[in-house]
Amino acid sequence: MPSPPDTAPAADRYAQRFGQLRQQLQELGYFCKGTLLERRMKCGQPSCLCHRDPAKRHGPYREWTYKAHGKTVNVKLSPEAGRIYQAASQQYRQLKSLLNRLERLSRTALAAQAKRTKAGRTT
């Protein structure tokens, strides 16, 4: 029976790629889960134009919305804070993407490692 192809170079590639992804993970800044919204609102004065014309509504007002303990939480933000939370929200999406890629790579590397171990026992 021919011996299985050498998978050590593949294992090295997996380890190198895993290290690169971990480095990217370390480079992330602050992050937060949630959604940033920009809203325009009606005021409490019935005679105001905002009640008759949606284009005349007041704003824009920025809000960060997230879930905590099964409840939706809305936080009003200043324009400056809105930019900070927008960047943190992008960091969160990047974190999720990196974790998904790390998991896929780990699954592939573990399967190759298990296959190599099994092939080593049968010869």
Give tens-digit pLDDT for 11-47.
Answer: 889 999 999 999 999 999 999 999 999 999 999 999 9
Residue 62: exposure state from Cβ atoms within 10 A (0-12, 13-18, ≥19): buried
- With a cut of 60, say whether residue 123 has pLDDT above it: no
Residue 2's pLDDT is 47
Backbone angles phi, psi at 71, to 5 degrees: -115, 145
In a domain, 14, yes or no: no
Q: Is residue 3 part of a domain?
A: no
For residues 3 and 89, give the distance between their C-alpha atoms in angstroms, rounded to a whole number: 50
Assess if residue 53 is contained within a domain: yes
| Residue 36, in any domain of the structure | yes
Establish if 7 belongs to a structural domain: no
Query: Where in the sequence is the domain holding 102, given as residue range(s)?
Result: 31-42+49-118
Predicted TM-score (pTM) of the model is 0.74
Q: Within a domain: residue 74?
A: yes
Q: What is the pLDDT of residue 101?
A: 96
Could you give the C-alpha distances from 11 to 56, 67, 87, 123, in angstroms and in order? 61, 40, 35, 20
Count of the separate structural domains present in the chain: 1
Question: What is the number of other CB atoms lying within 10 angstroms of the CB of residue 101?
Answer: 16
Residue 111 lies in a domain: yes
- The predicted model gives 60-89 an average pLDDT of 95
Distance CA 11, CA 17 (A): 10
Confidence of residue 115 (pLDDT cuts 50, 70, 90): confident
Type of residue found at 59: G
pLDDT band at 121 (very low <50, low <70, confident <90, very high): low
User: Please, what is the average pLDDT of the chain?
Assistant: 89
